[in-house]
Structure 1
Amino acid sequence: MIFLRVLILLLLLVLCPFLIGMLSFRFLPRNRQSVALTFVTGQLLSFALFEVIAVPCMLLNRYDSFVFTYRIYLAGMVFFTAFGARDLILRLRRVGVLQLFPGDHFPEPEALMDPYRDITDYKQRYTKEAILYWVLFFVLLFFQLYMLFTQASFDGDDAYYVTESVLAQQTGTMNRILPYTGISTTLDIRHALSVITMWTAFLAKASGIHAAIVAHTVLPLFFLIFTDLVLMESGRILVRGRQNDLPVFMVFLALLQIFGNNSIYTPETFLMTRTWQGKSVMANAVVALTVYVFLMLLENTIRLQRLTERRRKDKNSKRERYAPFILLTLVNLLAQISTSMGVVLLTGLIMLLSFFFLLYTKKIRSVIPAFLCCLPNVFYILLYLFYRGA
């Protein structure tokens, strides 16, 4: 029985997001089609799907909102997972296993001879020293996972956030029972729109595991690996052409995460001790994803400037233009799920990074799509104000 419950969690947290991520090959350029980014994008799509289902169900249905959310989201996950599996099978038939993820390829001889091909897009073979650094990183990662699993910390906010998940799992309602007293209450819109607690309840109900166990034991492992995958993809851009420096970069970040608990307010403290909370997701995953998107945008812009006019119009070059903004929209939706304050903070961060990007391009149209990506945040704020006033 326990094995079956763990298997269901692995399906929901690993296999389903990965297969859903195969749909991202429709808009990701070839050099971004890696295993890590496929999983990250699939998880972002899963979070976005949950939000567009959970929020309307919660606002329009008073009593059985979580029951409807659970059923619709589960059906949606099955549908998009099957759709992604179909894309995976078709791609395997077309290109084979070795060509499945171009973003993880080593350069082939024809790529080395092509004057228009940037071989820094490809992975390089690591030196023995770099392999040792990778081993060190995985040792540190295993230590972090072990401590998260065996030394789960107690936090005062558990009395609210984890209890909300437990109430949703046991009563079928969403944010209609006060966690502190157990009596019925009006909808607390400030916490209600951040539906990450309901996502935790979904995992708990689907797997049959208590929501407190999912929050304290399962989600810390998941979000740490998720955040490290995002940081690794960012590192691949920062050390482009110096691939052997990537494991050093990851070791440095792992040490920061382990020894960053010099205050209760640091992102590292939230990552290692309050991982299941939306504030931790915002401070670590969302911020890292936003920086990664703008790094991708900058790198794509530099690359497109070097191409001929004809190559700028091909399908892959067009993907390089709009793929970062699709990801940025999904990141905004993740911020909304995480915490209501994150909507304002992320919008400010996007404006700041867009300003620096504008200084580089000197073209106002280059940042207009970034502003449009914030429209979901505007709608979120208007929805908050409407129900706050009501």
Structure 2
Amino acid sequence: MASCLQTLLWGGIVPTAAGLIFTKHRKENIWAAAFLFGYGLLFAVSELLILTMTFLRQPFHRLVWIWVVIAVGAALWGIVRSIVGRKVQLLLFFKSAKISTIYFWIALLVIAFQIAVSVFGAHMDADDAFYVGTATTTLQEDSLYQINPYTGGEYQGIPTRYILSPFPIYLSVMSELTGIHPAVMAHRIFPIIFYVLAYTAYYLLGKTLFQKNTRAQGQFLLFCALIQMSFYYSVYTSSTFFLVRIWQGKAFLASVLLPVIFYLCLELFREATREISWWVLGFFCMAACLASSMGIMLVPVMVGIFAFLYGVLEWKWMRVGKAFLCILPCLLLGMVYILLVLKG
């Protein structure tokens, strides 16, 4: 029971409260946006903290305590900012639920089925040897990327392939805070959280694409859910990674973070709304770096395309400048990676 409450606290309440920092001016979908944006903030914080503490060779427990202080501080700030700025609309979810169509509720059933299959039919993967192994080793040794999970001995050099995208360390942090073993956290808890994050992003994207058509919004969400269930024809498809490996960093990048960044770019570059801050896009760009080294290059490409289409071609140079600042951490980490590889 204690682990369940701790999981609810650190996996739901704290991120949502932190996300309220960025929802002050929103008029609808406050809680969905807060949940999504809060995770973006905490992922960005995790990337900065883990990299700093790793290169300084600090112990893992110190990382956890600093992370907790920042996360709780952000959550309290979000709550205070929300209350001071306007009255929190506690009934907003129920209000929006009343106008949802049958397609929306069918989509929820499909999503619930996917979560149940993923949790109770947990897929065991060969990559567990490194990802879960690294998380377990981090907890046991109270160190950050100093012990090789394959051998149990110390790394002879910097693990350049993984150190800049320390997603297994984030798994260790959540395991430490909830008291749940990393293997259980990865295969049973993370899929629940990440499915909700993914479909929250799809839901908000549908609201953007079909702003006044609630029927089309529900159909879009249902279509996304059915697509994910229907494209497991190869072990290499994005749907395969979504269904059975979403807890891995590379799968999380493709299934959750890239769709979120696409949604944010669509809103920000078209200036369709003033309800989203460029800070949120910057946080998710850093979150992509946390998840996988592929995010270090894929995200600048995606954001760069939007900047070219909606900035350069329309002579909106302020958009281009803000986009560059958002992807700057990715570019810097890319340079660091090249230097680490050249150094040997």
* Alpha-carbon offset, residue 206 of structure 1: 1.3
SS in 1 for 2:271: helix
Q: Deviations over 1:309-368 (max 9, x none)?
A: xxxxxxxxxx45xx4522221111011100112111111111122222247634344323
| Unmatched 5+ stretches in structure 2 | none
Equivalent residue runs for 1:1-390 within 5 Å: 3-25=1-23, 29-31=25-27, 34-61=30-57, 64-91=58-85, 94-95=86-87, 97=89, 126=99, 131-185=101-155, 186-300=157-271, 319=274, 323-358=276-311, 361-390=314-343
Quick one: distance in 1 between partners of 2:29 and 2:105? 25
Alpha carbons 1:293, 1:324 under 8 Å: kept: no
SS in 1 for 2:234: coil
Q: Quick one: which amino acid aligns to residue 330 of structure 1?
A: F
Worse-matched range after superposition: 232-241 or 376-385:
376-385
| Cα distance in structure 2, aligned partners of 1:360 and 1:223 | 36
Structure 1 residue matching 2:23: 3-state secondary structure: helix
How far off is 1:165 after superposition? Answer: 0.5
Aligned partner letter, 1:9: T
Question: Retained in 1: the 8 A contact 2:17–2:75?
Answer: yes
**1:265 partner SS:** coil
Q: CA deviation at 1:67?
A: 1.9
- The C-alpha deviation readout for 1:43-82, integer Å capped at 9, x for no partner, is 1111111122111100011xx4312211111122222222
C-alpha deviation, 1:124, in angstroms: 10
Task: Give the number of aligned pairs.
Answer: 342
Which 10-residue stretch deviates more, 289-298 or 249-258?
A: 289-298
What is the Cα deviation at residue 293 of structure 1? Answer: 1.2
The letter for the 2-side match of 1:147 is V
Aligned equivalents of 1:96, 1:250: Cα separation in 2:
26
C-alpha contact 1:286 1:331 (8 A) present in aligned 2: yes
User: Letter of the aligned partner of 1:296 in structure 2?
Assistant: E
Partner amino acid for 2:3?
Answer: R
Which residue of 2 is the match for residue 117 of structure 1? none
Amino acid at match of 2:297: V
CA distance in 1, matches of 2:201, 2:236: 22
Given that 2:22 and 2:277 are in contact with CA atoms closer than 8 Å, whether structure 1 keeps it comes out as no
Q: Which has the larger radius of gyration?
A: 1
Amino acid aligned to 1:44: G
Between the aligned partners of 1:96 and 1:163, the Cα distance in structure 2 is 42
Q: Against the structure 1 CA distance between its residues 124 and 242, is the aligned structure 2 distance closer, same or farther, given a 3 Å change threshold? A: farther
Structure 1, unpaired ranges of 5+: 107-122, 304-318
Shift of 1:10: 1.0
Q: Name the TM-score, length of structure 2 as normaliser.
A: 0.92
What is the rounded CA distance, in whole Å, between the counterparts of 2:29 and 2:222 in structure 1?
24
Please list the CA deviations of residues 8-47 of structure 1 after superposition, one character each: whole Å capped at 9, or x if unmatched.
0110010000111111135xx4346621111111111111
Name which of structure 1's ranges 368-377 and 350-359 shifts more when overlaid on structure 2.
350-359
CA deviations over 1:230-277 (Å, ceiling 9, x no partner): 110000010112122111111111001111212212111111111111
**C-alpha root-mean-square deviation of aligned residues, in Å?**
2.3
Give the aligned residue type for 2:55.
L
| TM-score normalised by L of structure 1 | 0.82
Maintained 8 Å contact 1:275/1:281: yes
Say whether the 8 Å CA contact 2:21–2:81 is kept in structure 1. Answer: yes
Secondary structure at the counterpart of residue 338 of structure 2: helix
| Structure 2 partner of 1:314 | none
Supply the AA of the counterpart residue of 2:32.
A
Using the alignment, how far apart are the partners of 2:220 and 2:237 within structure 1?
20
The residue type paired with residue 178 of structure 1 is N
Change (3 A) 1:252 1:382: same
Tell me the residue number matched to 1:312: none
